[in-house]
């Protein structure tokens, strides 16, 4: 019997670091009977939260890898992915949102909308993921859900409205008022598992009435029936309200806001009701695939179990029993023993084992269908691959992958460490598209690149623990880029005469700056002056030239290479000759095109007591930072700035000593900007010295 997809929810839990995502997930698993005891993130019992299964996660009290699990609430099956809050692990959030239908945006009732909340919200908007907001930690000193809701409107431009009011705040937080049923809800029992409904406290009745009216007025925009009921007066059917909220949420035009305290076991069950009521089921969301046989035209996937299979591998993990591939099924059914096709490689794959994941535990299943998130064993593929049934050539559109901004050298101490390091790097690059590795041919060193110091730090630690790879680590290096600022022509002949046939190729055209994108090749050859078979060779030669610039040795980006003339020789012209001709042409024009060095600029947010605001701003200015704005909230100030990454190494130590350890900062990549002249001269000088020494 086919599964009722209206009873399925695929949701993610996303937020700024330390907003309580993993604690919330732990409570959801407890109330849905998936676990029978609650463990905390920094567990005193030494167990740690269920979803933080990696040793490093338990030690640091942070989520590093997104973890998948499932639960059932009333009659709805919920697949949940708990994602990291730290910006260095942003790819985990990207790939989760790519396959999810809805999300819970968790916010701290004290911190409110913070820097990573903004990033996560932007990612949700990119994948058009409907979300509900949960204002957590209402038991904390300084809690203010009303202010957080205002921030959702102002900072994230969401049409956010409270669906509940807290009864008391901070140490007096007791329960909440439901603005739809107009009842007070309290959470009794040892773990808040018993819900008690009462009349609204007398001192809150007027406020609740006022907030309900404002809420109904807003959501009536999504339902004509509700609008008519409001105009007629009298009692309003709660189902009409639920339908209107759902409609607005699915259209991404309304964000319902719920309140509670996951740590104190308050507000979780009504949040689960909201997931069932307001977030989309698989059939509410239109997902598209590319038809690889019809000019990559998009077509909507059907969500039909009787259709041909299409599923996306969105995450890989090297588990105890080999590679584990997480997949989301979009249409068709997959059974154990079925043969599927990888649409990228064209290879046939037989599915031996099919499991449903519960963090690091698994449950064997025989089949899965549309809307299911499951894992496959022993399937060799890359993150982002699409699997299909025979006779269908389709690919799900891939996810956005940000470029790494920081690199460092890793040096194994002996041969055994070298072998173990190679195994680790193979696995990590397969699992994480933002983690890159290459060998610097001049120094022979292995270089790893990633999204930040913590990102690389975690992988180095995992290399040592999971693979016993003893490595030494070089100083972090900024991933500079080089680019050109003006158009420059080239006309280059590559000519070489050796014993047999020689090499000959002439390439003419120009280089010019490219506003968006890294590289573009334009073929304007007419009359066959360069034979068609050698045009790709020219493209290849230009791309090779962009691997390393001549100013500071950084990769070149933002270049359009146009060829409009050339010559060939009937005997001496070849693929290699035209590749070398293009490389020579690039070199000839590059310095004439006035190249400059670009550096990664980070968006930095420093949060701390107002008394240290001057010192914080001074420390950022000293690091060539540009202050974008400051926000004061009570005794706390948030300073936002754009600072070059090269100036941010060691900033955590400086900030600690400046603020007596009371401030913290987050940073994420913002853009690339041209380095100042003095810095550029220093980088060029350093590069020239290194070349001389080599």
Contact 258, 133 (CB under 8 A): yes
Consecutive sets of 10 residues in the chain, 694 residues long: mean pLDDT of each?
A: 75 76 82 71 42 46 56 85 60 70 88 76 81 90 89 88 89 89 89 88 90 90 87 82 91 92 89 91 83 77 86 75 80 88 86 75 82 83 82 75 78 87 85 80 78 80 84 83 93 81 88 87 88 92 91 90 90 89 93 92 86 90 91 80 88 83 78 89 86 71
Q: Please report which helix (H) or strand (E) contains residue 447, including its range.
A: strand 446-450
Rounded to whole angstroms, the Cα distance separating 305 from 333 reads: 5
Contact 147, 112 (CB under 8 A): yes
Task: Of 627, 542, 546, 549, give the one whose Cα is nearest residue 582.
Answer: 542
Q: State the pLDDT at residue 87.
A: 55
Rounded to whole angstroms, the Cα distance separating 40 from 26 reads: 8
Rounded to whole angstroms, the Cα distance separating 432 from 452 reads: 14
Query: Largest Cα–Cα distance of the chain, in whole Å?
Result: 101
Task: Of 200, 198, 158, give the one whose Cα is nearest residue 179.
Answer: 200
Task: Of 72, 75, 23, give the one whose Cα is nearest residue 192.
Answer: 23
Contact 552, 482 (CB under 8 A): yes
In order of 130, 503, 506, 580, the CA distances from 573 in angstroms are 57, 6, 9, 11
Phi, psi angles (nearest 5°) of residue 643: -130, 140
Structure token pair of residue 421:
């390091």
Contact 449, 497 (CB under 8 A): no
Rounded to whole angstroms, the Cα distance separating 301 from 285 reads: 10
Helices (H), 17-71: 21-31, 55-60
User: Residues 400-440: pLDDT tens digits?
Assistant: 666 777 788 888 888 888 888 888 888 888 777 788 888 87
Length of the chain: 694
pTM of the model: 0.69
Q: Strands across the sheet with 297-300, in order? A: 297-300, 288-291, 394-396
Residue with tokens 């599927």: 340
Which residues are CB-contacts of 650 (< 8 A; sequence separation ≥ 6)? none
Please count the other Cβ atoms lying within 10 Å of the Cβ belonging to residue 506: 21
Residue with tokens 């942070």: 62
Structure token pair of residue 308:
């041909």
| Structural domains of the chain sorted by starting position, each given as residue range(s) with its CATH number in brackets | 5-284 (3.40.50.300), 288-396 (2.40.30.10), 406-478 (3.30.70.870), 482-593 (3.30.230.10), 597-679 (3.30.70.240)
Q: State the pLDDT at residue 1.
A: 45
Query: Three-state secondary structure along 662-674?
Result: CCEEEEEEEEEEE
Rounded to whole angstroms, the Cα distance separating 366 from 578 reads: 55
Structure token pair of residue 81:
């992915």
Give the N- to C-terminal CA distance of the chain in Å, as an integer: 69
Please count the other Cβ atoms lying within 10 Å of the Cβ belonging to residue 508: 20
Rounded to whole angstroms, the Cα distance separating 182 from 218 reads: 17
Q: State the pLDDT at residue 594.
A: 93
What is the Rg, in whole angstroms, of the alpha carbon atoms belonging to the chain? 28
Task: Of 60, 684, 119, 97, give the one whose Cα is nearest residue 451.
Answer: 119
User: b/e string for 481-494 if b means 16 or more Cβ within 10 A?
Assistant: bbbbeeebbbebeb
CA torsion 605→609→610→612, rounded to 10°?
Answer: -80
Contact 74, 103 (CB under 8 A): no
Task: Of 82, 139, 88, give the one whose Cα is nearest residue 106.
Answer: 82
Our separate counts of H helices and E strands in the chain read: 16, 39
Q: State the pLDDT at residue 93.
A: 65
Rounded to whole angstroms, the Cα distance separating 264 from 168 reads: 14
Task: Of 658, 592, 591, 594, give the one whose Cα is nearest residue 621.
Answer: 658
User: Residues 470-484: pLDDT tens digits?
Assistant: 888 887 788 889 999
Q: What is the DSSP letter of 336?
A: T
Q: State the pLDDT at residue 90.
A: 63
């Amino acid at each position: 019997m086919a599964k009722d997809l209206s009873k399925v929810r695929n949701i993610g839990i996303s937020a700024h670091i330390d907003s309580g995502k993993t604690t919330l997930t732990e409570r959801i698993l407890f109330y849905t009977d998936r676990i029978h005891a609650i463990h905390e993130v920094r567990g005193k019992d030494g167990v740690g939260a269920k979803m933080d299964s990696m040793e490093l996660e338990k030690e640091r009290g942070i989520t590093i890898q997104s973890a998948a699990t499932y639960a059932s609430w009333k009659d709805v099956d919920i697949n949940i992915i708990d994602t990291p809050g730290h910006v260095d692990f942003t790819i985990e959030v990207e790939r989760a949102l790519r396959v999810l239908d809805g999300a819970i945006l968790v916010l701290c009732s004290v911190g409110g909308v913070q820097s990573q909340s903004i990033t996560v919200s932007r990612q949700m908007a990119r994948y058009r993921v409907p979300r509900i907001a949960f204002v957590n930690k209402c038991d904390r000193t300084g809690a203010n859900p009303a202010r957080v809701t205002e921030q959702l409107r102002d900072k994230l431009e969401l049409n956010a409205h409270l669906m509940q009011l807290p009864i008391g705040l901070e140490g007096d937080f007791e329960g909440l008022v439901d603005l739809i049923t107009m009842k007070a809800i309290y959470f009794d029992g040892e773990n808040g598992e018993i819900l008690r409904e009462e009349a609204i406290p007398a001192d809150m009745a007027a406020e609740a009435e006022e907030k309900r009216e404002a809420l109904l007025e807003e959501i009536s925009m999504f339902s004509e029936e509700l609008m008519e009921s409001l105009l007629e007066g009298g009692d309003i059917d709660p189902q009409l309200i639920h339908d209107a909220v759902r409609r607005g949420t699915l259209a991404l035009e309304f964000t319902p806001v719920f309140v509670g305290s996951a740590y104190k076991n308050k507000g979780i069950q009504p949040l689960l009701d909201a997931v069932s009521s307001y977030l989309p089921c698989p059939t509410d969301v239109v997902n598209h695939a590319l038809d690889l046989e019809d000019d990559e035209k998009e077509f909507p996937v059907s969500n039909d179990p009787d259709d041909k299979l299409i599923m996306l591998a969105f995450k890989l993990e090297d588990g105890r029993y080999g590679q584990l591939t997480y997949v989301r099924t979009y249409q068709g059914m997959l059974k154990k023993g079925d043969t599927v096709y990888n649409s990228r490689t064209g290879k046939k794959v037989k599915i031996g084992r099919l499991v449903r994941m519960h963090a690091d535990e698994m449950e064997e299943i025989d089949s899965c269908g549309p809307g299911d998130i499951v894992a496959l064993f022993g399937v060799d593929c890359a993150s982002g691959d699409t699997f299909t049934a025979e006779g269908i050539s389709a690919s799900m559109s891939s996810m956005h992958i940000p470029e790494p901004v920081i690199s460092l050298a890793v040096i194994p101490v002996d041969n055994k460490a070298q072998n173990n390091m190679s195994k680790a790097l193979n696995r990590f690059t397969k699992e994480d598209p933002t983690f890159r590795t290459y060998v610097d041919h001049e120094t022979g060193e292995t270089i790893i690149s990633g999204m930040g110091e913590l990102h690389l730090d975690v992988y180095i630690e995992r290399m040592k623990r999971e693979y016993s790879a003893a490595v030494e680590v070089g100083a972090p290096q900024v991933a500079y880029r080089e680019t050109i600022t003006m158009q420059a022509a080239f006309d280059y002949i590559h000519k070489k005469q050796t014993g047999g046939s020689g090499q000959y190729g002439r390439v003419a055209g120009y280089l010019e700056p490219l506003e968006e994108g890294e590289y573009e090749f334009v073929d304007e050859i007419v009359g066959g002056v360069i034979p068609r078979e050698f045009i790709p060779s020219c493209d290849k030669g230009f791309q090779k030239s962009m691997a390393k610039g001549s100013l500071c040795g950084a990769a070149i980006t933002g270049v359009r290479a146009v060829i409009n003339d050339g010559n060939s020789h009937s005997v001496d012209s070849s693929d290699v000759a035209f590749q070398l001709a293009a490389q020579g042409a690039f070199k000839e024009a590059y310095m004439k095109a006035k190249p400059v060095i670009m550096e990664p600029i980070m968006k930095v947010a420093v949060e701390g007591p107002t008394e240290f605001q001057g010192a914080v701003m001074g420390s950022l200015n000293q690091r060539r930072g540009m202050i974008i704005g400051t926000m004061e909230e009570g005794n706390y100030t948030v300073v936002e700035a754009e600072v070059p990454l090269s100036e941010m190494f060691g900033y955590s130590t400086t900030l600690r000593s400046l603020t007596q350890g009371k401030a913290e900062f987050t940073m994420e990549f913002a853009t690339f900007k041209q380095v100042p002249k003095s810095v550029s001269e220093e980088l060029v000088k350093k590069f020239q010295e290194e070349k001389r020494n080599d």
